[in-house]
Amino acid sequence: MIGIDTTAIRLMKYKDTLKKLKSLGLVKVFSDNLADSIGVSPSLVRKDFSFFDISGYKRGGYYIDELLEKLNVVLGRNTLHKLVIAGAGKLGLALCNYKGFQDEYIKILALFDIDEEKVNPESPIPILPAESLRAFVAEHRVTLGIITVPEDAAQRTADNMILGGIKGILNFTPLQIRVPKKCVVNTVNLELELDNLIFQISGKNINGKGETGDAEE
Amino acid sequence: MIGIDTTAIRLMKYKDTLKKLKSLGLVKVFSDNLADSIGVSPSLVRKDFSFFDISGYKRGGYYIDELLEKLNVVLGRNTLHKLVIAGAGKLGLALCNYKGFQDEYIKILALFDIDEEKVNPESPIPILPAESLRAFVAEHRVTLGIITVPEDAAQRTADNMILGGIKGILNFTPLQIRVPKKCVVNTVNLELELDNLIFQISGKNINGKGETGDAEE
DNA sequence: TAGATTGTTAATCGATTAACAATC
DNA sequence: TAGATTGTTAATCGATTAACAATC
């Protein structure tokens, strides 16, 4: 939620809608349709596409297949992304099996843990010793890493990932991780998500100053 | 990331900084200090506080203890919040043990699952059958729910939670859940977080149009 | 052709910052 | 008192929307 690019998120939502429209047999779509489906103005839809040099047909809208393909390119979904997870605790294992991460273009190669008891190279997705992280990443040219290790090991783990050649990190610790400019860290702070929920329901009960969510009647 | 109130997030960051300053022995803080620590202007810090009727002392800044207490009230951290988790899969169990959720003012009362094999009322945090969710929530006056069930059961689960009296839901399915206006749903879409990371590193490699993260050299 | 939709420029809106009077 | 910081109003900035010429 911090530093997240709102345009990219809209592109992903367009993609979702397009997939649903396609499954209904539709072939073309207008900026107006997409705008309605995700709750923005048609101008913004056109501007988003235009920004990424995706053009439609005056009077004819956009062809769904064509649009999907172009969005996939922009979103990086036309090449395979290799991924490792540091930390084979409950969260790491949960993410490893998370359905949303099973995708043609995402491959989870291994988990890593410092605890020898957890190491198991024979597991369907091997669990390897933490000290082999950097070499593994380098050898397999892994580009994405997920960090679910304890807070005090987070920065060290990130450093190793980056030395190995990882370009993007999804960080599940509440810590602010520092990386070189050429890399990206996105932090998912679950604690903050819960805090935020508590704030919102507290606000609703006490006075009108709490913010409204994405709820509807 | 969607519909999140940026002010509340800043308040939480102020709180974090304040706790750290306090642990260093500091007693007072100026809007300038807090602004630096979270990367906004001092005016915004003062405006945030002023919005919630938190006032300081001209020339004297703010007293850390006083500020922390007031922030806790605004953020709802002065009363106990009862919580249940629907779905005792890997993610549900991981969250149940998540350190960030262990807090004086948060109490996880139970998990619920439709799978009888998983049910275990004797577990430290009991795992109960899904059909008892609504009654349990009502009986214990639970106000917060976390949803980690499969997508197709998400809306039904949310409905039950709300019928039981839950006011805020943290939704881990990619589905848009509909709730009455008096309730709040925040969605943590892990799939989208990974997608977004992929977009960012793809953008960095292909052209200059990808967005930068919160990284630094 | 007439009508409809894109692509883009100008206008609006909201959030953040700068500036400054009040005052300790 | 003189100097420094708050609280708030005006200015700025960026993101979204409205409007419209181009054109299929």
DSSP annotation string for A8-66: HHHHHHHHHHHHHHHHTT--EE-HHHHHHHHTS-HHHHHHHHHHTT---BTTTBEEHHH
Question: Which nucleotides of strand C are protein-proximal, with an atom < 7 A from a CB?
Answer: 3-9, 15-19, 22-24
pLDDT value of residue A5:
79
pLDDT value of residue B204:
61
In sequence order, the 6+-apart residues with CB closer than 8 A to the CB of B166 are: B84, B137, B142, B143, B144, B145, B183
Which region among A27-36, A142-151, A204-213, B75-84 has the lowest average model confidence (pLDDT)? A204-213
The alpha carbon of residue A198 is apart from the nearest alpha carbon of chain B, in Å, by 6
Q: pTM of the predicted model, to two decimals?
A: 0.90
What mean pLDDT comes out for the span B110-132?
Answer: 97
pLDDT value of residue A204:
61
The helix (H) or strand (E) run that includes residue B116 is: none
CA distances from A183 to A3, B201, B202, B210 (A): 14, 8, 11, 12
**A121 CA to C4 C1', in Å?**
61
Statement: residue A1 has pLDDT above 80: no
Please answer whether residues B137 and B115 qualify as being in contact, where contact means their C-beta atoms are separated by less than 8 angstroms: no
pLDDT value of residue B44:
98
The alpha carbon of residue A58 is apart from the nearest alpha carbon of chain B, in Å, by 25
pLDDT value of residue B2:
31
Which among A6, A50, A14 has a CA at the least distance from the CA of A32?
A: A14
For residue B200, what pLDDT band results from cuts at 50, 70 and 90?
very high
For residue B192, the tally of other CB atoms under 10 A from its CB is 20
CA distances from A19 to A15, B172, B202 (A): 6, 21, 22
d(CA B116, CA A99): 22
Statement: residue B3 has pLDDT above 80: no
For residue A183, the tally of other CB atoms under 10 A from its CB is 22
Q: What are residue A144's phi and psi, to 5 degrees?
A: -125, 140
Statement: residue B1 has pLDDT above 90: no
Closest nucleotide over all strands to B41 (CA to C1'): C17
Which among A79, A101, A104 has a CA at the least distance from the CA of A148?
A: A101
In this complex, which residue's CA is closest to the C1' atom of nucleotide C17? B41
Q: Which amino acid is at B204?
A: K
d(CA B60, CA B135): 52
pLDDT in tens, B133-175: 999 999 999 999 999 999 999 999 999 999 999 999 999 999 8
For residue B203, what pLDDT band results from cuts at 50, 70 and 90?
confident
Which chain B residue has the Cα nearest residue A198? B76
Pairwise pLDDT comparison (A2 vs B19), residue with the higher score: B19
Q: Which residues pair with B158 in a beta bridge?
A: none
The helix (H) or strand (E) run that includes residue B168 is: strand B168-171
Residues B62-79 as b/e (b if ≥16 CB within 10 A, e otherwise) read bebeebbebbeebbbbee
